[in-house]
Amino acid sequence: MAGELMSELRGVLKRKSPAMNDDPVLLRIGTSSLIVTTGSHDSGPALSSGDIATSHEDMLALDELFRCVDCGTLVSVERHVVHEDKAYCKCGRKHIPWKR
């Protein structure tokens, strides 16, 4: 479920990248009933076009936190540079702080 996924993401970021955990987009997504509860209930909330547009914008903003605009790849812990405490995208232009 999306709510559980967001909860786990926030937990990992809290341990490994505390500065990222406080990003406003993560807070908005974590409190969005459309995103965190729709998949877990048979009869989801009544949706308006505004709710859908806002949720879509939030998901795009979440993607931008981790995706490089130059190479299109996501930042990955597989490209973690230990002595810098950063995780990078494939081309090395996008990074996020990442503790060991």
End-to-end CA distance of the chain: 28
Instruction: Name residue, tokens 């597989």.
Output: 78
The predicted model gives 60-79 an average pLDDT of 96
State the pTM of this model.
0.78
| Span 40-69, pLDDT tens digits | 555 555 677 888 888 889 999 999 999 999
Burial of 17 (0-12, 13-18, 19+ CB in 10 A): buried
| Cα–Cα distance measured from residue 98 to residue 76, given in angstroms and rounded to the nearest whole number | 10
Please state whether beta strands 86-88 and 95-97 pair in parallel, antiparallel, or not at all (unpaired). Answer: antiparallel
